[in-house]
């Protein structure tokens, strides 16, 4: 295949994944909007979000993070060097191992849920709020097993250059959790009090099961048939596990930082009363969800398509092709996310008021969430570029490099959280700002290390492109400011943006 043909295929695949992920992110946004409208940004929603925080974090670390990266890298090399049958045998071994291991993790999570919740909230929550969080945590822990297997299926399909159906799988999760969660929640408590949160937790499990099963038809079409295989003393399995160890730590930088931020957010107190404030966990979660919308559409889509291609180039020893694919992926990430970051930062309040401000989500919650979103937007570009850059280190066998950088990132996040939140008194805004700064530092350091390894990384072309994008971005910022000043601020005073729906 010629370079031009590969570029066309990569661009087309990125577009397909982007559309599929857009569908998923929009449904995820609807999910968050429905939940916020039903419960508001307070005690009950804080409990649900904190309960989902740990299984969701472990999903990002193991399932869609380390396991996915390590498996796709090894599986793609198997296909390129040894053929499909050898790759399918590896898939059976890894799928069996994943099912057994994640089942054990699920049981441990259910048993030790009280200790985990106490750790997450730093003991700052009231006993009734803590008890509710423990119950919801126990219900949602099996989500880990379902989504881990779904991530393996996604990896197999991506390695076979099937990108659309697996990218749509997370849409099935959001649909399942919305429909089943709200229906069961209403059945348990028509007034949507604390009891109805059990329905949302059960809906999360139903959505996770749909995310897994919905990919099966595409998997069968590419020729895969599952057979339990307990012969784990295999070179391919060892390679996956060897890659996973450093990948867990490397991929943990963002997610562990989010977890640390949750602990800081749960411990934020009212200066006048000294009591913990209801809302910071929800404000940060909603702002992060909005930031994840363009990240998922662009950053995840580009990273998903780039990883199998750079893995194949690295396996064949084609350094020039590897360098070109990686640099092109990062430039595309910059092109698509810089305008998104400017739009989110400049129009944070109008966006949140239109989407979320109804039901129990009031104007004060809108303003507090917007303050967090503006600071999260600063790190959007770095987040997207990391989705492309970080997995490339595993493709070239430099698995320890992202791990070491992640250690530095976690330490920096702890210090910056303390500085901005407690020392400078920025509250939850400081947590969002520190997350963005850490992501930016993480990207710059990894870029410098990758450039050193590849000797050059088309840096001049990238800087020229960045200059052009920033000029266009300045014009966009001016348009957003004008719209916000003359038009959207006037809209915010209209009744239909503040009415109870």
Could you tell me the pLDDT band of residue 73, with boundaries at 50, 70 and 90? confident
312-316 mean pLDDT? 76
Q: Are 13 and 157 in contact (CB under 8 A)?
A: no
Q: 253 pLDDT exceeds 80?
A: no
Half-sphere exposure of 228 (CA within 13 A, CB side): 3
309-322 mean pLDDT? 78
409-435 mean pLDDT? 84
Could you tell me the pLDDT band of residue 445, with boundaries at 50, 70 and 90? very high
Q: 323 pLDDT exceeds 90?
A: no
Please report the pLDDT score of residue 4 as a whole number.
59
User: For residues 402 and 93, which has the higher predicted lDDT (pLDDT)?
Assistant: 93
346-374 mean pLDDT? 83
Distance of CA 403 to the CA centre of its chain: 18
Q: 496 pLDDT exceeds 50?
A: no
42-56, 294-308, 325-339, 487-501 — most confident range: 325-339
Please report the pLDDT score of residue 495 as a whole number.
35
| Residue-wise pLDDT tens digits, 52-63 | 877 777 776 665
Q: 179 pLDDT exceeds 90?
A: yes
167-174 mean pLDDT? 85
Among residues 429, 465, 236, which one has the least CA distance to residue 345?
429
Q: 499 pLDDT exceeds 50?
A: no
The helix/strand/coil state of 269 is strand
Q: Are 285 and 373 in contact (CB under 8 A)?
A: no
User: For residues 491 and 269, which has the higher predicted lDDT (pLDDT)?
Assistant: 269
Give first-to-last CA distance, the chain, whole Å. Answer: 55
Tell me what the pLDDT averaged over the chain comes to: 80
pTM of the predicted protein model: 0.66
Q: Which residues of 31-52 are buried (b: 16+ CB within 10 A; e: fewer)?
A: bbbbbbbbbbbbbbbbbbbbbb
Give the list of residues 6+ apart from residue 258 with CB closer than 8 angstroms, or none.
Answer: 53, 57, 288, 435
Q: Are 61 and 251 in contact (CB under 8 A)?
A: yes
Q: 375 pLDDT exceeds 80?
A: yes
The helix/strand/coil state of 319 is helix
| Residue-wise pLDDT tens digits, 183-225 | 998 999 888 877 888 999 999 999 999 999 999 998 888 888 8
The helix/strand/coil state of 434 is helix
Please report the pLDDT score of residue 489 as a whole number.
59
Give the list of residues 6+ apart from residue 406 with CB closer than 8 angstroms, or none.
Answer: 249, 250, 251, 252, 253, 442
Could you tell me the pLDDT band of residue 232, with boundaries at 50, 70 and 90? confident
Token pair 């599986």 is found at 75
Among residues 140, 143, 154, which one has the least CA distance to residue 67?
154
Q: Are 498 and 359 in contact (CB under 8 A)?
A: no
Q: 13 pLDDT exceeds 70?
A: no
The region, left, alpha or beta by phi > 0 then psi within -120 to 50, assigned to residue 122 is left
CA 171, CA 164: separation in Å to the nearest integer? 11
């Amino acid at each position: 295949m010629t370079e031009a043909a590969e570029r066309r295929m990569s661009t087309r695949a990125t577009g397909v994944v982007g559309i599929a992920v857009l569908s998923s992110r929009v449904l995820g946004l609807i999910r968050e909007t429905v939940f916020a409208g039903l419960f508001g940004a307070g005690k009950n929603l804080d409990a649900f979000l904190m309960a989902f925080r740990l299984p969701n974090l472990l999903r990002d670390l193991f399932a869609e993070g380390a396991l996915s990266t390590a498996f796709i890298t090894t599986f793609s090399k198997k296909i390129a060097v040894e053929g499909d049958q050898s790759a399918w045998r590896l898939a059976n071994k890894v799928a069996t191992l994943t099912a057994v291991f994640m089942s054990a993790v699920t049981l441990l999570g259910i048993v030790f849920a009280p200790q985990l919740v106490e750790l997450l909230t730093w003991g700052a929550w009231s006993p009734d709020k803590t008890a509710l969080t423990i119950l919801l945590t126990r219900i949602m822990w099996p989500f880990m097993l379902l989504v881990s297997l779904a991530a393996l299926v996604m990896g197999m399909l991506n390695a076979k250059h099937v990108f659309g159906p697996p990218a749509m799988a997370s849409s099935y999760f959001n649909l399942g959790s919305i429909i089943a969660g709200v229906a069961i929640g209403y059945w348990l408590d028509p007034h949507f009090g604390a009891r109805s949160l059990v329905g949302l937790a059960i809906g999360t499990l139903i959505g996770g099961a749909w995310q897994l099963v919905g990919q099966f038809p595409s998997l069968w079409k590419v020729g895969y048939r599952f057979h339990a295989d307990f012969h784990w003393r295999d070179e391919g399995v060892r390679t996956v596990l060897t890659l996973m160890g450093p990948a867990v730590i490397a991929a943990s930088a963002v997610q562990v930082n989010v977890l640390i931020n949750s602990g800081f957010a749960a411990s934020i107190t009212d200066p006048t009363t000294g009591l913990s404030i209801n809302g910071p966990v929800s404000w940060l979660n909603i702002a992060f969800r909005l930031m994840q919308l363009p990240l998922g559409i662009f950053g995840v889509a580009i990273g998903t398509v780039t990883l199998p291609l750079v893995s194949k180039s690295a396996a064949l020893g084609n350094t020039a092709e590897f360098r070109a694919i990686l640099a092109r992926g990062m430039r595309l990430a910059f092109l698509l996310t810089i305008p998104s970051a400017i739009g989110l930062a400049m129009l944070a309040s109008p966006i949140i008021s239109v989407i979320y401000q109804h039901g129990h989500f009031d104007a004060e919650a809108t303003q507090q969430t917007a303050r967090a979103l503006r600071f999260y937007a600063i790190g959007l570009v770095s987040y997207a570029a990391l989705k492309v850059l970080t997995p490339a280190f595993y493709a070239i066998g430099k698995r320890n490099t992202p791990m070491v950088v992640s250690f530095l990132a976690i330490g920096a996040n702890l210090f910056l959280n303390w500085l901005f939140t407690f020392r400078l008194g920025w509250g939850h805004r400081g947590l969002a700002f520190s997350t963005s700064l850490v992501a930016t530092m993480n990207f710059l350091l990894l870029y410098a290390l990758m450039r050193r390894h590849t000797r050059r990384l088309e840096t001049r072309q990238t800087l020229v492109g960045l200059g052009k994008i920033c000029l266009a971005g300045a014009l966009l910022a001016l348009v957003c400011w004008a719209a916000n000043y003359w038009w959207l601020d006037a809209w915010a005073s209209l009744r239909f943006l503040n009415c109870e729906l």
